[in-house]
């Protein structure tokens, strides 16, 4: 299975999102074995869901709170994401970890809550430039995946996003991506041994139509979590077609 997910982050207006979806759907249709999704800002979830889910695409929340309701001003719960039309949720993105202090302890609760409300978690992991330069990449990835020992197995997608390659125009070289994805696969095999779950591993970090074909040729790269290029409907359609 190949998977491509657009992370719009804090971009696009309501009408720009409508135009994007209409243009994108005019360029592409999903083939067998290809999954695609969009993670828009919260204010556009209903709109995007109404437009793309009938065409077989997933809609992801960009984050979700572990509690189903309560006095958590500014947060959005998993059942609220479901109610808005989501079938999945991004968890642990590096921007959430770095800018908003998201911890592994919080992610354990969030993954469990996503499963409780029938949402597919897309767990993001990755090292900073300082950690890579210090030779700590695999240690960091192992620590971030260790939350699965607490959550237990369940439906899951994982995205490897080296933090230093997000939005910078830089990306990891093929041997670096191959090493990281092989390690992630081996680690997932330990946590999911004997279960029915098949976990695709996406790559994220300055993914573009010009780089995606090479990335898809790397073992254990099952697709991409796309930032900047996903704001252009033609580019995102090209990426989905490449995945197919």
Which stretch, 24-38, 122-136, 157-171, has highest mean pLDDT?
122-136
- CATH code of the domain made up of 2-8+56-66+77-243: 3.20.20.70
Residue 29 has pLDDT above 90, yes or no: no
Secondary structure letter of residue 153 according to DSSP:
S
b/e string for 171-183 if b means 16 or more Cβ within 10 A? bbeeeebbebbeb
**Cα 21–chain centre separation:** 19
Farthest CA pair distance, the chain: 47
Tell me the C-alpha to C-alpha distance, in Å, between residue 39 and each of 80, 90, 191, 210, 227.
15, 8, 27, 22, 10
Q: Are 5 and 224 in contact (CB under 8 A)?
A: yes
The mean pLDDT of 28-40, rounded to a whole number, is 91
Structure confidence at residue 165 as a pLDDT band (50, 70, 90): confident
Active site members: 93, 161
Structure confidence at residue 206 as a pLDDT band (50, 70, 90): confident
Q: Are 158 and 120 in contact (CB under 8 A)?
A: no
What is 22-70 written as a DSSP string? HHHHHH--PPTTEEEEEE--GGGHHHHHHHHGGGT-EEEES--BSSSSS
Residue 62 has pLDDT above 80, yes or no: yes
Backbone angles phi, psi at 157, to 5 degrees: -115, 150
pLDDT of 30 reads 85
Residue 156 three-state SS:
coil
């Amino acid at each position: 299975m190949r998977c491509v997910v657009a992370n719009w982050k804090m971009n696009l207006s309501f009408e720009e999102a409508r135009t994007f979806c209409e243009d994108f759907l005019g360029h592409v249709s999903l083939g067998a074995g290809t999954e695609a999704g969009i993670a828009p800002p919260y204010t556009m979830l209903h709109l995007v869901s109404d437009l793309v889910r009938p065409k077989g695409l997933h809609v992801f929340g960009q984050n979700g709170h572990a509690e189903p309701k309560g006095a958590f001003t500014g947060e959005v719960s998993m059942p609220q994401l479901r109610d808005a039309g989501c079938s999945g949720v991004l968890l642990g993105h590096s921007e959430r970890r770095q800018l908003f202090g998201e911890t592994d302890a919080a992610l354990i609760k969030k993954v469990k809550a996503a499963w409780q409300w029938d949402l597919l978690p897309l767990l993001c992991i990755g090292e900073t430039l300082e950690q890579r330069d210090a030779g700590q990449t695999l240690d960091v990835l192992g620590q971030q995946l260790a939350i699965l020992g607490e959550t237990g197995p369940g439906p899951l997608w994982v995205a490897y996003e080296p933090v230093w390659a997000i939005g910078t125009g830089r990306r990891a070289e093929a041997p670096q991506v191959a090493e990281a994805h092989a390690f992630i696969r081996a680690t997932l095999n330990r946590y999911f041994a004997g279960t029915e779950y098949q976990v695709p591993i996406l790559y994220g970090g300055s993914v573009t139509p010009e780089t995606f074909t090479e990335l898809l040729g790397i073992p254990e790269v099952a697709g991409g979590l796309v930032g900047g290029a996903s704001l252009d409907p033609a580019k995102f359609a090209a990426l989905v077609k490449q995945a197919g």
